[in-house]
Amino acid sequence: MTRLLVLHGPNLNRLGLRETDIYGTLTLDQINDRLRQYAAAKGISVHPVQSNHEGELIDQLHHAQTTYQGVVFNPAGYTHTSVALRDAVAAIDLPVVEVHLSNISGREDFRRVSLIAPVCAGQISGFGWRSYLLGIEAVLGCLHEG
């Protein structure tokens, strides 16, 4: 059975509580529930983890190598500043898809470039919680293509 890690970066535990015009009104728990249902309907499983700690996110990516077949990763605020997370993605041999709730190309200048996306399979941004659904589909596509 295909198992995917859904890795949520910093501050995503605050979803639905603040800045709902940017990130939407769903809480992280509600999003995770929807992702689990969606996965179950497809016969796969998703395992959401959230951390505000860059080091913890690196550890999770390393750990994913032996536990999951792919990763849907929202690096949030670390997207634009973390070479270490980029290296962590490059250091594992799994399809990793970067997702964002908001359309980062239309926000502040410093959010326009991702340090991590170049070593991911691809990037999806702008579709709210549905970005995760598309991310799951994208990882499955990568696995399917081999």
Q: Which residues bind a copy of itself (CB under 8 A)?
A: 9-11, 13-14, 17-19, 51-56, 58-59, 62, 76-88, 90-93, 103, 105-106, 110-115, 117-128, 130-131, 133-134, 137-138, 141-142, 145
68 assigned to active site: no
63 catalytic per annotation: no
What phi and psi values does residue 141 have, to the nearest 5 degrees? -60, -45
Catalytic residue among 68, 78, 100, 132: 100
Tell me the closest approach of the beta carbon of residue 41 to a copy of itself, in angstroms.
15
DSSP-derived secondary structure letter, 69? S
Distance in Å, CB of 120 to a copy of itself, minimum: 7
Nearer to a copy of itself, 40 or 91 (CB): 91
Task: Please state, as a whole number, how many other Cβ atoms lie within 10 Å of the Cβ of residue 140.
Answer: 19
Q: Cα(54)–Cα(15) distance, rounded to whole angstroms? A: 18
d(CA 96, CA 77): 17
How many C-beta neighbours within 10 Å does residue 114 have?
Answer: 20
Which is the catalytic residue, given 23, 68, 78, 132? Answer: 23
The residues annotated with a catalytic role in the active site are 23, 100
